[in-house]
Structure 1
Amino acid sequence: MRNAERALIAIALVASASAAQAETRRPVDLPAGSLGGAVVALGRQAGISIGVSDPRLASMPVRRVRGQFTVRQALQKLLDGTEAGFVSIGADSWRIVRRSPPPQPLRVAQRPMLQPAVMMAEEPPGDIIVTGSKRATPLSAYPGSVSVLRMDDLPVGAEGVGTEAIAQRLPGVGSTHFGPGRNKLFIRGIADSSFNGPTQATVGQYLGETRLNYNAPDPDLRLYDIATIEVLQGPQGTLHGAGSLGGVLRILPVAPRLGETQASAALSAAATAHGAPSYDANAMINLPVAGDHVAVRAVGYAVRDGGYIDDTLRDLKDVNRTDTYGGRISLRAEPAPGWTIDIGGTYQSIRARDSQYANRDLRDLVKESPVAQAFGNDYALGQFVVRKQWDSGLSFVSATGVVRQDIDETYDATPESGPPTLFRQNSRISLLSNENRLSYDMDGGLGWVVGTSVVRNDYRLSRSSGAGMFSSEVGVFNRVDEATLFGEVTLAVTPSLSVTGGGRLTHARLSGDALDAPQFEQADVRMQAKRSETTILPSLAFSYRAAPDLTVFARYQEGFRPGGIAVRNNFVQRYRNDDVATAELGLRYGGTGTGDVNLALSVAHTRWRDIQADLVDSTGLPSTNNIGDGRIWSVDATIGWRPLPGLLIEASGVYADSKLTDPFTSAVVLRSSLVAYDGGTGVVSGPGPGVIFPLPATAVIAESDDLPNVARFNGRIGADYTTVLAGGYDLRVSGWARYVGRSRLGIGPVLGVSQGNYLDTALSARIGRGGYGLFLSATNLFDSIGNRFALGSPFTLPHERQITPLRPRTLRIGMDIRF
């Protein structure tokens, strides 16, 4: 609580110190010609984002504007006497709209349409740049499935939600729900298990150019002061290496603005039905340090998510309160023409008083636990990025990142009718990464990139348990060193057809050790765990421009994860590397965000060999094993329709058919289809010797070979209306409904329980003028319970049904201001 109060005080000081700062004037020189060209020039000179909602406006002639102006003054002079106007849509973001002809009292803004991607306003109208390709690749030429979000594409207040806001927006992104800072992300149905352990993540996560994690859970950084979010469906092995089996999530923060003084702040409060109140406070400041050559940008925030789970055994209410505070600071310098140096640091701390699961057999939102199951996540990132851009289209990037993540977890391990017992688990992860690449860009997405990458990741897992005095359990230490050479080239076969080919050569050295294990076991482990792996990941893709607004693409890509050591039933064993190969066929219609109808569709087949999965052993302790081979068919579709000016209606859905096709003999007992369930005794026994799992008589077993956490269908429908009211007030109203299909928690008789099959809903509105705004949002409109995740503690799961409910109906009200 003291840390949260300090963060709030700091935010208030930043906001009050910044309130005196007016929007600064800057030199502006906009050429006469088309509006589209002038908008691009203003965006580059002022370091802001400007979008054009109507392609016919982009070709409209405008006169030259030159002098010292604020952004608002420059836009007023540029558009004076034309049929175009402008609206502010967020910090450093503006949109050019068509004025409604008189005598209509309202001016309607046409909001860009998000389909697989939205327009990045720094580019000319019609060009959406996929930066995750590590080149300046236009979406129209990118041969793969990708989604690009701006923050104004997310609901009001999504900044304080974090990664969950992305999953709510994109049906193809899934997650476990252990709690913020310890969830696993999945893309395209490539999901291994529900637990966190030594296995590497299936989704590669980046903050700008720097990798966020390796084999750690999602750090769940809050999305304050973010420019764009890219989700590249995987695998993405050629350009992003190990741990991108499902794809890549790339978050691009707003860069420091040279020569400008900016500030913003926001404050909101929320009331949750059946729960405690919440709050969210954040502030940003951007300051020039050395004229137009150096600038610093800092963001700070504090978030409290009030609890809504009651523990009747301890007679406590709203036990699952979570406090999050953190910030980000970055310095940008341009020491010479074409050179950019970025130095930054990110820190976030999450503290939860108790877990967020409930007991399904009790009344709603209630559990009975004799102990508190608190958890926390401390995340720190330092990054150093150097760029050089030549006028010829050649560019060089060198990015270095250092990450430290500490995760503390506690679980109720009380045996049935036994004394209160607590299980503690601490994960310490350190990651050092460096990438250097040289790229060359030509028109139409043609060009090449070549680079090197070096990664060192250390993972240390310590465990202890006890009813009073705690005793150490066997833990593990894994180290991975990677050295990589990669490259990709895109060539034109015909004016409409391009081919992209590339490869990645990775040499990995693996080492591991057992912690707190008997000496004879440790010696055996050292002999088994030291080894090397060399992997080649090829890729091949085609992109065909069938019509100006229609692109058809085909893609083949591979990905892998290195192996390691794990503990199972207090014995140390080695698990092998796994790999995936995906063939994809898709199309995009539209893509500029300006047409009345836009469409994206893809079909993909994935083969997954030697699947690594973090499981639980027969004692309830987390473990890791190769469980067999699998395959996934997935269909991803998105359609957007603008029936009226300013109104956007979108629908998207993902169908995934996943199977564990060839289970390993050592893991055969884990398949629920190969075990017998005796409802009278509440015991599940398998073919393995001595493997007995007690289950409640009411247990629901998902009798299928589907991979864990993969629903057959996820879907979303949303509507967004943006307009400019008389008096210059900007109004935005949006709403959505999201269906999450049924899936199973994991693989095996204990973990094969059902989850999902619920509907989530939300409405939001914001009205603002100039730099001020008021907003209101409501989530879970029907106050549904749902079941996001059928697990709270693996130790008590065998004798109680567990669910992770949706946050009950929540009403949030707040205000934002920027200078």
Structure 2
Amino acid sequence: MMRYLSIAAAVLGVVIAAPAHAESQVEVDIAAGRLDSAIFVLGKQAGISIGLSDPHIGASRVPRIKGRMTSHQALTRLLAGTEAKPQRVHARHWRIVRIPKRLTSERVARKFNPVKSPPQPVINPDIVVTGLLMRHTIQSDAAGNRLTLSLDDVGPSAEVRGTDALLETLPSLSSTQLGPGRNRLFIRGIADSSFNGPNQAVSGQYLGEARLNYNAPDPDLRLIDLSTIEVYQGPQGTRFGAGTLGGVVRLVPNAVQLDELSGKTSIALAATQDGDPSADANATVNIPVIEGVMGVRASVYTGRQGGYVDDRRRELRDVNRMDTMGGRFILRVDPGAGWSIDTMAAVQVIEARDAQYVDGTGDRLERSTLFAQPYNNEFALGQLVVRKTWDDTELTAAINLVDQEISETFDLTLPASEPFYPELPGLFHQRGDMRLFTSEIRLSRSLDNGGNWFFGTSLVNNRYRIRRAIESDFFNASVVGIENETSEATAFGEITWPLSNRLMVNAGGRISHVWTKGTTLETPSLVLSAQEATVKRNQTAFLPAVGVQYRFAESLTGHVRYQEGFRAAGIDISDDQVERFRNDEVAAIEAGLVFSIGGETGFDAGISAAYTKWDDMQADLIRGDIGLPGTLNIGNGRIWTVDASMNWRPLPGLSIEASAIWSDSKLTEPAETIFVGNSESDFADELPEGAVIVESDNLPNVADFSGRLGVSYTNALSDESDFSLSAWVRYTGESRLGIGPILGVKQGDYVDTGLSANLDFGAHSFWLEGSNIFNARGNRFALGSPFILAFGKQITPLRPRTIRIGFDTRF
């Protein structure tokens, strides 16, 4: 893997300097439809803001445009044949103004008289900004409740961070906190377990067209050189090859530019109170190999996150240092005739010197352990994407291969029980190997009436192998491991059709057949019989989806959508026994409203409510006082969520943004072996063998309420420079670590804060950022090692107050 990083670094080293271009080209793909929808999409794809001087212009119909072009070229093509024209306000800001009617007759005269008349003045125009983050905006492709944001929306330090930057920005996104590279992501309250196991993750992840995970944890890729970040909430059975229960996070890289030499470098330094300093650096270069035909785009990055946790027993300070390095390489070939070929390779290595949890004593930034508990995550991806376009029709074929290896060490030391039992030191080693192959083919078409359809097929093969071993002074032994192989063949599709200029409906479906095979590894002959060493299962599922969107007025739009999700049944090992569990399914219905009053000073707001029914829920439990988590079907549950957001612009350049999500999740019908109560004495009847008593019927890792409030101000100092300030505060509500004894501990209920300032001079920018301004401790996650959780409190605190300073330069 290091060899690939060296190659990418060598490619970057070829370029030292190059002239800046006045306006670079970007990859544009906008469906035919209304102008107001088209400029919103263009704003996100081109990284610009676009305003409308007259909101009635937004109803104009525009054609589909696709290809590489400048912002001006894209706007000109969109507005051809309309009564509007583009007008540049600033280097990255445009507005669309109505062409005065008298100019229509003047065009004829100008063909014979080249004398130019002075441009008409625009007095106090009302501008609707469409290039900013507009949460809960309903998309014309009816892809579900999608949140789209850029790196600017995440903050100036976005490129030197990973998923944590998204968690600070979106309350509907949550995660476990075992450490970057081994966390599980949850979207809008759909959370099953705090542990990584053989069952499919409830949230899917993509890098461009590449599916990143099946049952693997979040690889926590750095947010380097991205065009947009998309978060799809709720089941996504008809939109992606990944038919997930909770949603999809998609990172969209910047496309290769075939006609310009350009690049960017960034350096950031950070100081953490009561901790070690941190440093990050990254660089990106775009090289046209054959202008207009072939080009490459490469990024490399490295960083060290200083530790801040002390170990009293080993007398060590700041033990939880973490190093990250990685890179991405994209080769694009555009042979013409509507064809394009993209090849991408990406690698990342995360090495953590020790775990990041504490025991809550002293100043709550220390613990007492005998051993270090390091871990590392090695991630590699290869992708080939071929596209062909015919007018309004596009065919996309993608083949992806992902390899991820995770090595973990947990403390297994059992405390002394005086006067009979001494302390028993021990370590538990675990190594997981995940290999994922996916192939997706999608055919889509944009219709002249503003609707669209798409159809896709997906083939998946995922192999998950985990090996475990115990190391102690008394004995070393292998623990039964397992290899699960899952193959899946899927067809999915959806059509969106306007019934009027206000009403749009969509319907789709997904059918999947899944083959699962589980094989035990390092099997003790006295524990598992030969017949149990390999288990096979086959399943088929059909998932429908329907939705309606209605525009009540120019400023108010509503939607209702029903969709289902399915997760294949799995196989696991618990207490040296083969465990088979049923597939789980979710059915979700949501309704929402979006209200927008445009203008340089305006107001946008959205609210949605969702009800999710979750049957045969797969979750991880710890059975017994000490042991590995094991998967069980814990029963049926339901989740109510209400999430809302607003963006108010009371003054030019000033924006006040707020977003929140309320969630109420319950285990409504526990399985036969699950009993809700405090102890066995709460039950009159004798409990059956294998019974598990849970203290609460709340689902794990789902905060009851989370919210964020942010204020930002931007001022254009000149045509080439901007200055911006922002501040935010986020509250994360209370949740539980898991279901059942030991895991029923509480976590969450803390406040985090941040400040940032950015000075942009066009080709250069400087930024300063502070996080956890009030140096709160909090408890992000109540787990460090599952083996000693029963013997004491475990807390994962917020990173202490940290100040970052960074410098970016573009050429």
- Which TM-score applies when normalising by structure 1? 0.85
In structure 2, the CA distance between the partners of 1:408 and 1:56, relative to structure 1 (3 Å rule), is same
In structure 2, the CA distance between the partners of 1:487 and 1:593, relative to structure 1 (3 Å rule), is farther
8 Å CA contact 1:378, 1:406 repeated in 2 = yes
1:202-281 equivalent positions in 2, closer than 5 A? 202-240=202-240, 243-281=243-281
In structure 2, the CA distance between the partners of 1:311 and 1:8, relative to structure 1 (3 Å rule), is farther
Q: Return the offset for 1:676.
A: 6.0
The one-letter code matched in structure 1 to 2:94 is I
* Distance in structure 2 (CA, Å) of the matches to 1:676 and 1:271: 52
* Distance in structure 2 (CA, Å) of the matches to 1:567 and 1:396: 42
Identity score, percent:
45
**Deviations 1:240-279, CA, capped at 9 Å, x for gaps:** 3555111111110001001110111000100000100000
8 Å CA contact 1:303, 1:324 repeated in 2 = yes
Q: Return the offset for 1:727.
A: 7.7
Are 1:465 and 2:464 counterparts? no
In structure 2, the CA distance between the partners of 1:288 and 1:15, relative to structure 1 (3 Å rule), is closer
8 Å CA contact 1:613, 1:624 repeated in 2 = yes
Are 1:657 and 2:664 counterparts? yes
8 Å CA contact 2:141, 2:452 repeated in 1 = no
Are 1:575 and 2:602 counterparts? no
Q: Return the offset for 1:510.
A: 1.0
Q: Residue 476 of structure 1 aligns with which residue?
A: 482
Are 1:790 and 2:790 counterparts? no
Instruction: Choose the corresponding residue for 1:86, options 80, 86, 90.
Output: 90
* Distance in structure 1 (CA, Å) of the matches to 2:686 and 2:766: 59
Q: Return the offset for 1:629.
A: 0.8
The one-letter code matched in structure 2 to 1:95 is H
* Distance in structure 2 (CA, Å) of the matches to 1:338 and 1:381: 26
Q: Return the offset for 1:730.
A: 1.2
Q: Return the offset for 1:112.
A: 4.3
Q: Residue 496 of structure 2 aligns with which residue?
A: 490
In structure 2, the CA distance between the partners of 1:624 and 1:83, relative to structure 1 (3 Å rule), is closer
The one-letter code matched in structure 2 to 1:467 is S
* Distance in structure 2 (CA, Å) of the matches to 1:563 and 1:482: 12
* Distance in structure 1 (CA, Å) of the matches to 2:393 and 2:719: 47
Q: Return the offset for 1:337.
A: 2.5
Are 1:761 and 2:764 counterparts? no
Q: Residue 746 of structure 1 aligns with which residue?
A: 738
Q: Residue 681 of structure 1 aligns with which residue?
A: none
* Distance in structure 2 (CA, Å) of the matches to 1:755 and 1:461: 28
* Distance in structure 2 (CA, Å) of the matches to 1:430 and 1:82: 49
The one-letter code matched in structure 2 to 1:335 is P
**Deviations 1:476-510, CA, capped at 9 Å, x for gaps:** 11111101111211122333212211111111111
Q: Return the offset for 1:593.
A: 8.8
Q: Residue 400 of structure 1 aligns with which residue?
A: 399
Instruction: Choose the corresponding residue for 1:456, options 461, 464, 486.
Output: 461
Instruction: Choose the corresponding residue for 1:516, options 516, 519, 522.
Output: 522
Are 1:617 and 2:623 counterparts? yes
* Distance in structure 1 (CA, Å) of the matches to 2:224 and 2:579: 42
Q: Residue 95 of structure 1 aligns with which residue?
A: 93
Q: Return the offset for 1:473.
A: 0.4
The one-letter code matched in structure 2 to 1:439 is S
* Distance in structure 2 (CA, Å) of the matches to 1:255 and 1:453: 24
Q: Residue 114 of structure 1 aligns with which residue?
A: 133
Structure 2 counterpart SS, 1:315: coil
Q: Return the offset for 1:790.
A: 0.4
Structure 2 counterpart SS, 1:812: strand
Q: Residue 648 of structure 2 aligns with which residue?
A: 641
Are 1:21 and 2:18 counterparts? yes
* Distance in structure 2 (CA, Å) of the matches to 1:796 and 1:267: 40
Q: Return the offset for 1:142.
A: 3.1
Q: Return the offset for 1:464.
A: 0.6
8 Å CA contact 1:601, 1:637 repeated in 2 = yes
The one-letter code matched in structure 2 to 1:643 is P
The one-letter code matched in structure 2 to 1:430 is R
8 Å CA contact 1:279, 1:305 repeated in 2 = yes
Instruction: Choose the corresponding residue for 1:426, options 406, 422, 431.
Output: 431
The one-letter code matched in structure 2 to 1:402 is L
* Distance in structure 2 (CA, Å) of the matches to 1:383 and 1:692: 44
In structure 2, the CA distance between the partners of 1:752 and 1:660, relative to structure 1 (3 Å rule), is same
8 Å CA contact 1:584, 1:603 repeated in 2 = yes
8 Å CA contact 1:15, 1:265 repeated in 2 = no
* Distance in structure 2 (CA, Å) of the matches to 1:8 and 1:786: 40
Structure 2 counterpart SS, 1:742: strand
8 Å CA contact 1:201, 1:243 repeated in 2 = no
Q: Return the offset for 1:157.
A: 0.6
In structure 2, the CA distance between the partners of 1:57 and 1:564, relative to structure 1 (3 Å rule), is closer
Q: Return the offset for 1:141.
A: 6.1
In structure 2, the CA distance between the partners of 1:9 and 1:215, relative to structure 1 (3 Å rule), is closer
The one-letter code matched in structure 2 to 1:492 is P
8 Å CA contact 1:558, 1:581 repeated in 2 = yes
In structure 2, the CA distance between the partners of 1:443 and 1:739, relative to structure 1 (3 Å rule), is farther
| Unaligned segments of structure 1, at least 5 residues | 29-35, 61-69, 88-93, 103-107, 118-127, 129-137, 678-684, 694-701
8 Å CA contact 1:557, 1:583 repeated in 2 = yes
Q: Return the offset for 1:616.
A: 2.5
* Distance in structure 1 (CA, Å) of the matches to 2:547 and 2:704: 27
8 Å CA contact 1:143, 1:554 repeated in 2 = no
Greater RCO (Cα-Cα under 8 Å, separation 6 or more): 1
* Distance in structure 1 (CA, Å) of the matches to 2:555 and 2:538: 47
In structure 2, the CA distance between the partners of 1:421 and 1:200, relative to structure 1 (3 Å rule), is same
8 Å CA contact 1:242, 1:560 repeated in 2 = no
* Distance in structure 2 (CA, Å) of the matches to 1:143 and 1:262: 34
Aligned residues: 742
* Distance in structure 2 (CA, Å) of the matches to 1:379 and 1:594: 44
Aligned Cα RMSD in Å? 3.4
* Distance in structure 1 (CA, Å) of the matches to 2:654 and 2:538: 56
Q: Residue 67 of structure 1 aligns with which residue?
A: none
8 Å CA contact 1:242, 1:559 repeated in 2 = no
8 Å CA contact 1:425, 1:462 repeated in 2 = yes
Q: Return the offset for 1:443.
A: 4.7
* Distance in structure 2 (CA, Å) of the matches to 1:552 and 1:82: 30
- Which TM-score applies when normalising by structure 2? 0.86
Instruction: Choose the corresponding residue for 1:546, options 548, 552, 562.
Output: 552
* Distance in structure 2 (CA, Å) of the matches to 1:593 and 1:660: 46
Are 1:306 and 2:279 counterparts? no
| Unaligned segments of structure 2, at least 5 residues | 26-33, 59-68, 78-84, 98-120, 122-126, 417-422
Q: Return the offset for 1:614.
A: 2.4
1:661-680 equivalent positions in 2, closer than 5 A? 661-668=668-675, 671=676, 673=678, 675=680
**Deviations 1:9-63, CA, capped at 9 Å, x for gaps:** 986x7777534211258999xxxxxxx99xx99x99xx95433245459989xxx
8 Å CA contact 1:637, 1:654 repeated in 2 = yes
**Deviations 1:767-819, CA, capped at 9 Å, x for gaps:** 02120111100000000000000000001110110100000000011100000
The one-letter code matched in structure 2 to 1:487 is G
* Distance in structure 2 (CA, Å) of the matches to 1:686 and 1:332: 67
Q: Return the offset for 1:627.
A: 1.0
Q: Residue 157 of structure 1 aligns with which residue?
A: 157
Q: Return the offset for 1:587.
A: 1.3
* Distance in structure 1 (CA, Å) of the matches to 2:128 and 2:272: 33
8 Å CA contact 2:24, 2:70 repeated in 1 = no
8 Å CA contact 2:597, 2:603 repeated in 1 = no
In structure 2, the CA distance between the partners of 1:243 and 1:789, relative to structure 1 (3 Å rule), is farther
Q: Return the offset for 1:532.
A: 0.6
Q: Return the offset for 1:617.
A: 3.1
Instruction: Choose the corresponding residue for 1:556, options 562, 570, 595.
Output: 562
Instruction: Choose the corresponding residue for 1:442, options 442, 447, 455.
Output: 447
The one-letter code matched in structure 2 to 1:188 is R
* Distance in structure 2 (CA, Å) of the matches to 1:580 and 1:594: 42
**Deviations 1:330-367, CA, capped at 9 Å, x for gaps:** 01111123111110011000000000000024432001
8 Å CA contact 1:239, 1:504 repeated in 2 = no
Q: Return the offset for 1:395.
A: 1.0
